[in-house]
């Protein structure tokens, strides 16, 4: 089969489009013919090998696993002998290792069935970004109807889901993004969208119950004054993908430690979220798409052989939303 692989850490040019052996499903795995995959910031981190500390787990000098891509949607080709929920021919979406390929193996527990109203590219855009947005707002942010929510970094994949999910639960949403994405985010039904170059939204008029920070740039100290008395900053992003320097890492670590200490001592909290892709949340997100409450924010499509261009688009930040790869 054809797949996108990498043999070294590097930028998008490190990606190769090669003939590789098809994966073989284990007893609890599902072999999926990939109809669409989507690109996540996590794929860029894996490709670049940054932050450097992650190389302790992924390979110090070169990546131990050449496969890349996680989000996918497609059709079941074969199932392991212990798989009960799926059978060949089912349309599914979720996460797998090596989704940028014609075929990929996923654990049964990382997939959900695709409702007929969902397209393959729409479904492939959902798993990581949709789950991160849902769990960040609902579980870490405790967002409820009427709460004031500020989404920092609304233009990216997670942000484009987050503004819609916050609206779907009845929150009062304000978004900040780069100038290129302001109109697209406004078209998702968010009334107040600010260009991030223009500074803090409503800096004098604090009172956000939840600030969902996807840029990871600002730090708790800078956001603290925008929170309501028991408000929460939910941090999902880890900051830029720039080259690590000792000074930069120390400042970053110091900012996080300072934020956690201040959060521990006060009523306003800093909470980190780490998304897990689960079938029940995928089902919920798919139902919202079926109901018209949630629109998969697909902004660009590339062929499998053009995965490097898709990665360039993600790293450039101007495309925004979700970038999809079509085998």
Q: Does 41 bind ligand NAP (CB under 6 A)?
A: yes
Say how many C-beta atoms besides its own lie within 10 A of residue 52's C-beta: 13
Local structure of 150: helix, strand or coil: strand
Which of residues 96, 124, 158, 270 is near ligand NAP by CB under 6 A?
A: 158
> Applying CB under 6 A, which of residues 66, 273, 284, 287 lies at the interface with ligand NAP?
273
Is 182 a binding residue for ligand NAP by CB under 6 A? The answer is no
Q: Please report whether residue 238 would count as binding ligand NAP according to CB under 6 A.
A: yes
Count of positions (residues) in the chain: 327
**Both tokens assigned to 202:** 């409503």
The answer to whether 15 and 4 have CB atoms below 8 angstroms apart is yes
CA angle at 183 for the pair 41 and 270, rounded to the nearest 5°: 45
Least gap, CB of 235 to ligand NAP (angstroms): 8
Q: Coil, strand or helix: which one is 236? A: coil
Work out whether 157 is an interface residue with ligand NAP (CB under 6 A).
Answer: yes
Residue number, 5 or 128, with CB nearest to ligand NAP:
128
* Residue among 3 and 235 whose Cβ is closer to ligand NAP: 235
| Tokens found for residue 136 | 């960040």
- CA 34 to chain CA centroid, nearest Å: 19
53 near ligand NAP, judged by CB under 6 A: no
Residues 69-108 contacting ligand NAP, CB under 6 A: none
Query: Considering CB under 6 A, how many residues would be counted as binding ligand NAP?
Result: 29
Positions in 114-133 near ligand NAP (CB under 6 A)? 128-129, 132
Q: Which residue in the set 25, 98, 127, 156 belongs to the binding site for ligand NAP (CB under 6 A)?
A: 156
Q: How far is CA 297 from CA 135, 155, 159, 179, 325, in A?
A: 18, 10, 10, 17, 14
Nearer to ligand NAP, 85 or 295 (CB): 295
Q: What are the phi and psi torsion angles at 256 (to 5°)? A: -70, -45
d(CA 179, CA 136): 24
Report if residue 317 touches ligand NAP, rule: CB under 6 A.
yes
Q: How many CB atoms lie within 10 A of CB 236?
A: 24
For ligand NAP, the closer CB: 206 or 217: 217
Backbone φ and ψ for 246, nearest 5 degrees, come out as -60, -45
The residues binding ligand NAP (CB under 6 A) are 40-42, 128-129, 132, 153-159, 177-178, 181, 196, 214-217, 236-238, 273-275, 314, 317
């Amino acid at each position: 089969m054809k797949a996108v692989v990498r043999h070294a850490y590097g930028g998008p040019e490190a990606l190769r489009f090669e003939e590789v052996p098809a994966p073989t499903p284990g007893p609890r795995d599902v072999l999926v013919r990939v109809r669409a995959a989507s690109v996540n910031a996590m794929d860029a981190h894996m490709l670049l090998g940054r932050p450097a500390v992650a190389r302790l787990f992924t390979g110090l000098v070169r990546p131990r696993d050449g496969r890349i891509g996680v989000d996918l949607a497609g059709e079941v080709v074969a199932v392991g002998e212990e798989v009960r929920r799926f059978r060949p021919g089912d349309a599914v979406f979720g996460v797998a290792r090596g989704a940028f390929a014609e075929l990929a193996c996923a654990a049964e527990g990382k997939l959900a069935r695709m409702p007929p109203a969902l397209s393959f590219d729409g479904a492939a855009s959902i798993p990581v970004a949709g789950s991160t947005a849902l769990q960040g707002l609902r579980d870490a942010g405790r967002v409820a109807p009427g709460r004031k929510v500020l989404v920092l970094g609304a233009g990216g994949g997670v942000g484009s889901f987050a503004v819609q999910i916050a609206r779907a639960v009845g929150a009062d949403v304000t978004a900040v993004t780069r100038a290129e994405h302001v109109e697209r985010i406004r078209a998702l039904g968010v009334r107040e969208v600010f260009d991030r170059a223009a500074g803090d939204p409503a800096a004098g008029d604090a009172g956000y119950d939840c600030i969902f920070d996807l840029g990871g740039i600002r730090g708790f100290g800078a956001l603290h004054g925008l929170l309501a008395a028991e408000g929460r900053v939910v941090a999902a992003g880890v900051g830029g993908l720039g080259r690590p320097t000792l000074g930069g890492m120390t400042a970053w670590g110091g900012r996080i430690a300072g934020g956690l200490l201040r959060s521990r001592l006060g009523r306003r909290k800093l909470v980190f979220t780490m998304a897990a892709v689960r079938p029940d949340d995928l089902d919920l997100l798919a139902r919202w798409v079926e109901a018209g409450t949630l629109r998969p924010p697909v902004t660009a499509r590339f062929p499998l052989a053009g995965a490097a261009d898709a990665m360039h688009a993600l790293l450039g930040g101007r495309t925004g939303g979700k970038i999809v790869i079509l085998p």
